[in-house]
Amino acid sequence: MSLTAPIDLGLAILLLGLAVWVIAASATYRAAEGFIAYGLVLALVWVRVGSVDVALTEAALGSGLTGLLLLRAAARLPPADPAETARPGKGVRVLAALLSAILTGGLAAVVLLLPEPAPTLAPAAAASLPATGMGNPVTGVLLAYRAIDTLGESIVLVLALVGLWSLAPDGAWGGRPGALTTAPAGSALRFLAQVLPPFGILVGIHLLWVGADHPGGKFQGATVIAAMWVLILIAGLRRPPTVTSRAMRWLVVVGSLLFVGIGAAGTWLAGAFLAYPDGLAKPLILAIEAALTLSVAVILGLLLAGPPEAECPTEARS
Amino acid sequence: MSEATLFGLCGAALVGLGLYGLICHPGALRKILAFNLIGSGVFLLFGVIARRGAASGFGGDPVPQALVITGLVVAFAATALAVALVLRLAQTAGRTGLDPEPPARPDAAPERPS
């Protein structure tokens, strides 16, 4: 404890400093850059509070993909909009600071007054772990103890994609997502996009596979695979599929469909929705994880690629 | 002070910082950034509660950890949707803020949301 205390303090100061940077930076682009660094430091903090699974997710998704999304948006927004530079008056800012300070003070009091001993669901999660054949308690919770949350989440992802696509302008429907297409990429980026994806996909599959017994899992693996796809799209080596592509739509929903199907089968075979029959838990969980990895990777990539855009005005309505 | 308390206080400060940015930044993209700060602060508070609930040989209570992973994925989906809404607003109304009375612009007729 005495050895790690200075590291913890340094991490906390760095984290808060970067958060202040994200809020105070003058340009949106620089704030988004700060957010990426903030996410990486936050991932280290997650390691320090003992949640390596969350740290992997934060580094890949919270920092990497969210940062890319915000950077692209900052680059695409019209620059120097007067509405964006006009700040609220001093009175509003003082009131907001006061409100934020009260909120922080209240939350800090809650942190300092948390009950002893801390309530925990760890024994309940541990009790259901041997039946699933999983060694990683977080994966066990995600797919057995609280599988309903994970099912809901996989459906939320599909709905988010539906919402995103419905923002397409009239005439652009049937086009390709355009948020990631750039000016011709430099040769260094093209080279990176040719060399890195095989390794990245292996890392993603590895994360999925070891997630049964060690930190990792389908979301972390899917995020890495999605990042590889996005890298290829940004480098211009491949184009995103059109939103009307049947094959891609099947990939988007296959994870949720399989999850719902196996969950519903559990109603008859194991006596409850989302329950697994004895002895079959591990293979079923692996099947759900594999299908969900595929779907989540495709959905994350498509969420980054944005709504479909008309490629040029003449072919937009064809 | 244990690391759980230290990072719990950090999470509380992040929520406050994010709320300040959410109120004071007129740009919609900056509001999204600030909202993500609030979210990460809430997740960190939850992570601290998971840390304190360490039992049964685990380094932390796995239930809050799993919920935070779920939350991170949903937060990303919501952020992607919000960013797409902002880009569409800029496309159709020519503005990037949420102020209902934007400054007059000669090149784009602002649409008031109904």
Report the CATH number at residue B32: 1.10.287.3510
Q: Which of A53, A82, A303 is facing B69, going by the closest CB pair? A: A53
Based on the domain organization, do A213 and A102 belong to the same domain?
no
Token duo for residue A53: 């699974």
- Helix ranges, chain A (H): 5-24, 28-48, 52-57, 66-76, 82-85, 90-112, 122-132, 137-140, 147-165, 187-210, 218-235, 246-269, 281-305
Residue whose pair of structure tokens reads 């909202």 in the numeric block: B35
Confidence of residue A183 (pLDDT cuts 50, 70, 90): low
What pLDDT, on the 0 to 100 scale, is given for residue A189? 86
**Same domain, yes or no, for A74 and A220?**
no
Give the model's pLDDT for residue A84.
52
Which residue range(s) make up the domain with A184? 128-318
Q: Look at residue B106 and tell me whether its pLDDT is greater than 60.
A: no
Contact assignment for B80 to A164 by CB distance below 8 Å: yes
Residue B112 above 70 pLDDT?
no
Residues A103, A17 share a domain: no
Look at residue A86 in the predicted model and tell me its pLDDT: 66
Query: Count of domains in chain A?
Result: 3
Contact B33 A65 (CB under 8 A): no
- DSSP-H helix ranges across chain B: 3-24, 28-52, 62-93
Yes or no, beta carbons of A77 and B90 under 8 Å apart = yes
Q: Higher model confidence: residue B81 or residue A169?
A: B81
Query: Smallest Cα–Cα separation from A236: which of A188, A185, A187?
Result: A185
The per-residue pLDDT for A292 is 92
Confidence of residue A38 (pLDDT cuts 50, 70, 90): very high
Give yes or no: residues A25 and A136 share one domain.
no
More confident residue, A31 or B113: A31
List, as one string, the DSSP characters of A79-139: SS-HHHHPPPPHHHHHHHHHHHHHHHHHHHHHHHT--SSPP--HHHHHHHHHHHT-S-HHH
Indicate whether A220 and A288 sit together in one domain: yes
List b or e across A288-299, with b for residues whose CB sees 16 or more CB atoms inside 10 angstroms.
Answer: bbbbbbbbbbbb
Pick from A194-198, A256-260, B106-110: least confident:
B106-110
Optimal mutation site among B65, B68, B88, B101, interface A, most CBs of chain A within 10 A: B65
Closest Cβ opposite residue B33 in set A22, A99, A163: A22
Residue with structure tokens 């809901």?
A: A152
Option in A31, A97, A146 nearest B30 (CB): A31
- Max mean pLDDT among A72-86, A164-178, B93-107 falls in A164-178
Counting one residue from chain A and one from chain B, the pairs whose CB atoms sit within 8 A come to 298
From B71, which residue of chain A is nearest by alpha-carbon distance? A153
Q: What span, in angstroms and rounded, lies between the C-alpha atoms of A228 and A224? A: 6
Q: What is the mean pLDDT of chain A?
A: 86
Tell me the residue type at A51.
Answer: S
B49 in a domain, yes or no? yes
What pLDDT is attached to residue B19? 95
Report the pLDDT value the prediction gives residue A80, as an integer from 0 to 100: 56
Average pLDDT over residues B77-104: 80
Q: What is the mean pLDDT of residues A171-180?
A: 80
Let me know whether A114 and A135 are in one domain: no
Do A73 and A93 lie in a common domain?
no
Predicted confidence at residue A37, as pLDDT, reads: 95
A156 reaches B (C-beta below 8 A): yes
Separation CA A34–CA A22 (nearest Å): 5
Q: How far apart are CA B41 and CA B45, in angstroms?
A: 6
The pLDDT of residue A142 is above 90: no
Does the pLDDT value for residue B102 go beyond 70? Answer: no
Q: Measured between alpha carbons, how far is A160 from B79 in angstroms, rounded to an integer?
A: 10
- Is A19 in Cβ contact with B37 (below 8 Å)? yes
A213 inside 8 A of chain B by CB: no
Residues A157 and A8 in one domain: no
Q: Do B49 and A66 make contact, defined as CB atoms within 8 angstroms?
A: no
Q: pLDDT over 70 for what percent of chain B?
A: 85
Q: For A213-222, write each residue's pLDDT tens digit.
A: 888 888 999 9
In a domain, residue B79? The reply is: yes
Q: Which residues contact B26 (CB under 8 A, 6 or more apart)?
A: A83, A84, A85, A86, A87, A88, B97, B98, B99
Tell me, yes or no, whether A180 and A247 share the same domain: yes
Section A185-204 average pLDDT: 90
Structural domain contains residue B101: no
Gap from B45 CA to chain A (nearest CA, Å):
8
A69 and A100 share one domain = no
Residue B107 with chain A: CB contacts under 8 Å: none
Structure tokens at A264: 């519903």
Is A288 found in the same domain as A215?
Answer: yes
Structural domain boundaries enclosing B45: 3-93
Closest CB to B78 among A28, A45, A160:
A160
Considering only CB atoms, which chain B residues are within 8 Å of A97?
20
pLDDT given at position A171: 81
Residue at B99 is within a domain: no
Span A111-128, pLDDT tens digits:
898 887 878 888 888 887
The DSSP H or E segment spanning A309 is strand A308-309
Same domain, A152 and A60: no
Token pair, residue A252, equals 């988007």
**Rounded distance between C-alpha atoms, residue A125 and residue A150, angstroms:** 15
Q: What is the mean pLDDT of residues B16-43?
A: 92
Please tell me the total count of domains within chain B.
1
pTM score: 0.88
- Whether the pLDDT of residue A315 is over 50: the answer is no
A316 pLDDT higher than 50: no
Residues B99, A156: C-beta atoms closer than 8 Å: no
Contacts of B30 (CB under 8 A, 6+ apart): A28, A31, A84, B21
A-chain CB neighbours of B11 within 8 Å are 107, 111
Residue A267 tokens, joined:
């109603």
Could you read off the pLDDT of A41-88 as tens digits, one per residue? Answer: 999 999 998 889 999 999 999 899 999 999 988 888 876 555 556 677
A186 pLDDT band, cuts 50/70/90, is confident
* φ, ψ for residue A308, nearest 5 deg: -65, 150
